[in-house]
Amino acid sequence: MTSFGFIGAGNMAGAIVRGAVAAGSSPTDIVVTDVDPAAGERLAAELGVRVAASNQDVVETCDFVVLAVKPQVLPAVVGELREVFADNRPVVVSIAAGQTIARIEELLPPGLAVIRVMPNVNAMIGQGMAAVCGNARATEDQVARVVELFSAVGQAIELPEKHFSLFTALAGSGPAFTFSFIEALASAAVNHGLPKPLAVRVAAQTVLGSAGLVLDRAESGGTPATLRDMVSSPGGTTIAGLLAADDAGLSPAVVRAVDAAVARDRDLGAM
C-alpha cells in the first residue's frame, strides 16, 4: 500500500487525513508529525494513524510526503530535510498557497517528483475543491493518487499550473466571497425583522441548495443563467430583485473580487 506522511498536522492536514480514513484508507498507511506533538497525538487518538518521531522519520518512511505547514515556514522545514529527501526520494506534495512548483523544486534536491495542490477550506466538511498539478518527474499514477487523496474531502481536478492563480482566487478565496454573500443576505433579512441565527441558516441553506442545483443541472447542459431565467417569472419578485442587484453592481463586484485575488496571488508568487 502507498503510504502518505504529513509534515504539519494542522487544520488542512487534519481534514485530509480524516477524509482519507473515512474513504477507506488504512490508518496504518498514514503518518503525521507536527512541531506540537499534541497535534499529531490528537489525530492518532481519533483515527489510529501513526505519529512519526520527527519530520525526518516521515521522509524516511513514506512514499508521499505532504508538506502541510504554513508557506512562511516551508523553506526552513524543507531546508532542514534536504539530505533526507535526497537519500529517500519520496513524492513531495505541497499544499502551500502561492508556492509554485519551481519554488518547491528550488528548495529540494534535484530530480524529485513534486505535486502541487491547492485545496480549499471546505475540505474541512468533505466538500472541498482542489486543483492538482505534477512536475515533469511526477508520473500519471502519482498524480492520480494525489487526486484520489483529495477526492476524499470533496472534488479534485488536474489543472495546469498556469491556472493556479485563477483557481486560488475562485476556489481558495471563493468561500470568503460566498460567506460575504451569505452575510449580506442574512443582514438584509435581519433588517426585515428575522432573528440573525435564523436568517443565516435560511441564507446558507439557500446557497447550498442553489449550488447543488447548478451542479445537478450542469450534467444535462444547464447553466446558472438558465436556472436564473427559470425562477424569474415575468413581473415577479425575483426579476425585480435581480435588476436591483444589477443596478447595484453585483456582477461587476464579483468579477473585480476575482480579478483582485488573481492579481494579488501573482504578486505574492513573484516575490
Ligand X SMILES: NC(=O)c1ccc[n+]([C@@H]2O[C@H](COP(=O)([O-])OP(=O)(O)OC[C@H]3O[C@@H](n4cnc5c(N)ncnc54)[C@H](OP(=O)(O)O)[C@@H]3O)[C@@H](O)[C@H]2O)c1
| Comparison of 111 and 179: residue with beta carbon closer to ligand X | 179
Q: Closest Cα partner for 208 from 178, 229, 188?
A: 178
Scan for cell 498514514, then name that residue.
30
Residue 11 interacting with ligand X (CB under 6 A) = yes
Q: What CA–CA distance (Å, rounded) separates 205 from 188?
A: 16
| Segment lying near ligand X (by CB under 6 A), choices 28-36, 196-204, 223-231, 247-255 | 28-36
Residue 125 interacting with ligand X (CB under 6 A) = no
Q: What CA–CA distance (Å, rounded) separates 16 from 232?
A: 40
Helices 174-191 and 250-270, packing angle to 10 deg: 150
| Segment lying near ligand X (by CB under 6 A), choices 69-77, 146-154, 208-216, 250-258 | 69-77
Answer for which of 47, 77, 166, 207 binds ligand X (CB under 6 A) is 77
Continuous segment of H or E residues that includes residue 65: strand 64-67
How near is the Cβ of 123 to ligand X at its closest, in Å?
A: 7
Continuous segment of H or E residues that includes residue 266: helix 250-270
Residue 172 interacting with ligand X (CB under 6 A) = yes
Per-residue binder mask for ligand X (CB under 6 A), 183-202, x = binder: --------------------
CB-count burial class (<10 Å; 0-12, 13-18, 19+) for 153? buried
By rule CB under 6 A, what count of residues binds ligand X? 26
Could you list the residues that contact ligand X (CB under 6 A)? 7-13, 33-36, 39, 55, 68-71, 73, 77, 95-97, 119-121, 172
